[in-house]
Amino acid sequence: MEIDPQAVAPETQAVAPGTEAQAPVAPGQEVPGPEVGPTGEVGPQEQEEYERAMTELGDVLYSNEKTSKALVEMINPEDKVGSTVKAVLSLVTSMDDKINMDEGIIYNITMEAADRLIDLAESAGKEFNEKETEQVALAAWEGMMTAYDDEAEGNLQEDHDYLAEGMSDVEKKQAETKYQELSNG
């Protein structure tokens, strides 16, 4: 299986609320910033940290074919959601170990990593439906927030409820089980 980075390069990039999406991010290109804070502004340090992390994500997924291929191979068709979440958490954790990301950008980077890894997997023939994509996003977010922020519990239920809308009871139970498996080791 060969992955063509050009075929799966993101069409848009994460942007702060209220701004428009821009061209794809290539290694070394300027990237948009993290979510705008309560004051409506992002400080230069947060912007720099986000750009550094996005550059690392681009390098790992699009410049290092061996790593991107290994991440895609981690995705098991019999357990797409759980195995994709594990791959995302592994990717973000490895990135953090390498570049020591600020906890304030972990959410954004985790969501970007999930979206882009799913794009890579789909380009390699592994299909994801909308519900699976939402389940990956929820479980990856919860996994990273649990790992990085013990105070995140207040927001978990609200985000869980939003992402779980439209899921059957069986799908909700599967997502919960996967999250428990991930959070317990």
Reported in sequence order, the residue ranges of the chain that DSSP labels E, i.e. its strands, are none
* Contact in structure between 114 and 59 (CB atoms under 8 Å): no
The per-residue pLDDT for 9 is: 42
Question: pTM here?
Answer: 0.62
Residues 105 and 33: beta-carbon distance below 8 Å: no
Block means of pLDDT (10 residues each) for the chain, 185 residues, are 43 36 40 49 83 94 91 95 94 92 86 95 95 94 76 51 64 68 54
Query: How far is it, in rounded angstroms, from Cα 52 to Cα 156?
Result: 27
CA–CA gap between residue 13 and residue 119 (Å, rounded): 13
Whole-number pLDDT of residue 143: 87
Q: Which helix (H) or strand (E) holds 144?
A: helix 130-148
Predicted local distance difference test score (pLDDT) of residue 46: 85
Read off φ and ψ for residue 166, nearest 5 degrees.
85, -5
CB pairs under 8 A, 24+ apart, for 39-47? 42/16, 45/102, 46/102, 46/104, 46/105
Whole-number pLDDT of residue 102: 84
Considering only CA atoms, which of 122, 12, 105, 109 is closest in space to residue 57?
109
